[in-house]
Chains A and B, each alone.
Chain A
Amino acid sequence: MAKLSYREAVAAAMAQEMRLDDRVIFLGEDVGAAGGVFKATLGLFDEFGPTRVRDTPISEQAILGATMGAAMTGLRPIAEIMFSDFFGVCWDTVVNEIAKARYMTNGDHETPLVIRSANGGGARFGAQHSQSIENWAMAVPGIKVVAPSNAYDVKGLLAASIRDPDPVLFFEQKAMYGNKCEVPEGELVIPLGEAATPREGTDVTIVALANMVPKSLKAAEILEKEHGILCEVVDPRTLVPLDTKTILASVEKTGRLVTVEENPRLCGWGAEIASIVGEELFWNLDAPITRITTPHIPLPSVDVLEDLVIPSVERIVDTISKMD
């Protein structure tokens, strides 16, 4: 198996699906000839040409509106919103149009589409190019939300998202684009709604997403070595649909839940998981549920401040080692 970077896995998944299905088309700013500002779509323009890989103006509302219109009329478009922060200028199209179209029309409209976007911090880009907004998306009925933590999952989950009949918001954590792991060269599809458990343990369940997964795995290593605490790390991979079975089974075993979230504190995705576990497994808990999040602040730019506020390996180790 070859090693692929997280960014190469994006292009690999799209190429895989575009070869299989000529209804799959792709649009966004600088995505074609330039291969994307993060170079995540390099090679697609050369292979599929300008009718299937289309550069757009800086018009996010037009990009997402056109994506929806194409999806409603038989195509399977993929759009790129360069930075997830830019959903602020086209959120209407996502939440009022794309998400509600099927329900409002009593099942008439079909909107099989994927919106990819670079999400999250760690690149020192400041408050308007670093947000983690997966919790905004999770709050809207009618869209699926995917946030992979490694190149293998990027390829398999993006392919599944493209094939999915529902609209999918696909969040790529931009600090992870260079991370490599082994990814099969052949067809890979990972069903949406199945959590992964990259580390098993008996003492504490850590539920982490995207870039918080490698940090949690590193923290789990340290916690075992230095504190003798065996952590199980669960990566939901998709927030909608949410694999609560895997999470609940893990917490039932460990009796302790910690969520590690990059989003700001209030209404982060972990709050929903904490609520589910609190309602359904309260009597199995041996300790209060603990959420490790970015504080409720916009992200600062400079490295010393950004690293201070986004959950770190040290903060995860410190928090868990002090749990009852």
Chain B
Amino acid sequence: MATAKAKSSSAGKIKIDKSQKLELYRIMSECRALQQRAYDLFMQNLVKGTTHLGQGQEAIAAAFGFAMREDDYTFNTYRGHNHNYVRGVSMTSILGELMGRDIGQLRGKGGSMHITDSSKGAMGSYAIIGAHMPIAAGAAWSAQYRGTEQVACCFFGDGTTNIGTFHEALNFAKIWELPVVYICENNQYMEYTPIGDVTAVEHPAADRASAYGLEPILVDGNDVEVMYETAMAALEKARKGGGPTLIEALTYRHHGHSRADPGKYRPDDEVKEWKENRDPLYGYRAKLLGEGIDEAELAKIDANTEKMIDEATEAAKNSPPPPAEIAYTDVFADGGAEWRN
């Protein structure tokens, strides 16, 4: 069987200037702070329900968020805080939602797993594995029909590659040559189980690409510049009518699957290797310093990030819980929940 070969870059032709590098660093830094703060808040028992955090996977969200056009569509899973943040959903809205406050993005009606703001192209966080893959195809179909050159980007985990919607959506996207980019964030564990233990091929997404007439693309998901180049190439292709792209981005989640999971099933040396030597944020920081960027510039970004997350935390903490009446709103388009006269 043909196996996908890792590429250092899918495009490799894009020049990334210093200001862009600093932007990529800033976005990753803010995502990390947001996720770390979410973790701290639930350790303080201030987060209701569950959370699925994305520390370690920031490069993928940051690169796409930076590369996408303002009116492009993002579809993501319940591990989606970073993806929403990079489209412009505020830290306060996200933390407020996690904490079940009225200031939350969905006023507590959705929770951690459903952050959405379609006015910013953040088309939803989906908590049924794979369900959003055909929905993203539908948004792409709509863009194609309306002739807007918008692209839908759909993020999912390695576990998703074994559910039916993955296969239905890829076939669908290809036969209609839809402007959609599917990004598998292969963090190597489907919930608590190594993906390799439950998958027929080595590379869960890339090795399936050829079944749908797609090029196998396997990239280092922890290298933000590689991710940015890959994103730009896929977005441009989709925008020009070149059809869908499937990307497998290799990454690692620093924490367990969700708040209930300490992640003890992973070997200590594996976790150590990914955290110490392959961290997308710290690795990029070291790279930028190596390229001669002044540490003071990075420190300024770091300080601003700290200030932002502290202010957002305070704003969320100071918000009351939502009023009772919103439990009964927005079931139907008339704003209410009435099913009889």
Query: In the complex where A61-B165, A62-B169 touch, is A72 in contact with B123 (Cβ < 8 A)?
Result: yes
The reply to whether the CB of A68 lies closer than 8 angstroms to some CB of chain B is yes
B178 — nearest CB in chain A belongs to which residue? Answer: A66
Docked Cα-Cα span, A230 to B285, in Å, equals: 84
Q: How many residues of B contact A (CB 8 A)?
A: 51
Docked Cα-Cα span, A166 to B128, in Å, equals: 22
B169 — nearest CB in chain A belongs to which residue? Answer: A62
Q: How far is the CB of A216 from chain B (nearest CB, A)?
A: 22
A241 touches B333 (CB 8 A): no
A72 touches B107 (CB 8 A): no
A59 — nearest CB in chain B belongs to which residue? Answer: B168
The reply to whether the CB of A165 lies closer than 8 angstroms to some CB of chain B is yes
Contact with A along B151-167 (1 / 0, CB 8 A): 01000000000001100
A51 — nearest CB in chain B belongs to which residue? Answer: B145
Docked Cα-Cα span, A144 to B168, in Å, equals: 26
Query: In the complex where A61-B164, A107-B335 touch, is A70 in contact with B142 (Cβ < 8 A)?
Result: yes
Of the residues B138, B164, B333, B338, contact of A110 by C-beta under 8 Å = B333
B333 touches A70 (CB 8 A): no
B130 — nearest CB in chain A belongs to which residue? Answer: A61
Q: Report chain B residues within 8 Å CB of A102.
A: 330-333
Q: How far is the CB of A167 from chain B (nearest CB, A)?
A: 9
A242 — nearest CB in chain B belongs to which residue? Answer: B340
The stretch that binds B, out of A80-88, A89-97, A304-312, is: A89-97
B331 touches A141 (CB 8 A): yes
The reply to whether the CB of B189 lies closer than 8 angstroms to some CB of chain A is no
B135 touches A66 (CB 8 A): yes
B340 touches A65 (CB 8 A): no
Of the residues B138, B143, B338, B340, contact of A67 by C-beta under 8 Å = B138
Q: Report chain A residues within 8 Å CB of B116.
A: 104-105, 108-109
Q: How far is the CB of A82 from chain B (nearest CB, A)?
A: 16
A103 touches B330 (CB 8 A): yes
A63 — nearest CB in chain B belongs to which residue? Answer: B134
Q: Report chain B residues within 8 Å CB of A142.
A: 331-332
B172 touches A105 (CB 8 A): no
Contact with A along B77-110 (1 / 0, CB 8 A): 0000000000000000000000000000111011
Q: Report chain A residues within 8 Å CB of B139.
A: 69-70, 72-73
The reply to whether the CB of B114 lies closer than 8 angstroms to some CB of chain A is yes
The reply to whether the CB of A57 lies closer than 8 angstroms to some CB of chain B is yes
Q: Report chain B residues within 8 Å CB of A144.
A: 332
Q: Report chain A residues within 8 Å CB of B141.
A: 66, 69-70
A101 touches B124 (CB 8 A): yes
A92 touches B168 (CB 8 A): no
Q: Report chain A residues within 8 Å CB of B123.
A: 69, 72-73
The reply to whether the CB of B293 lies closer than 8 angstroms to some CB of chain A is no
Docked Cα-Cα span, A107 to B322, in Å, equals: 15
B118 touches A108 (CB 8 A): yes
A104 touches B109 (CB 8 A): yes
B: residues with CB less than 8 A from A are: 73, 105-107, 109-110, 114, 116-119, 123-124, 126, 128, 131-143, 145-146, 152, 164-165, 168-169, 171-172, 175-176, 326, 329-333, 335, 337-341
User: 3 smallest A-B Cβ distances: which pairs?
Assistant: A69-B138, A65-B134, A66-B138
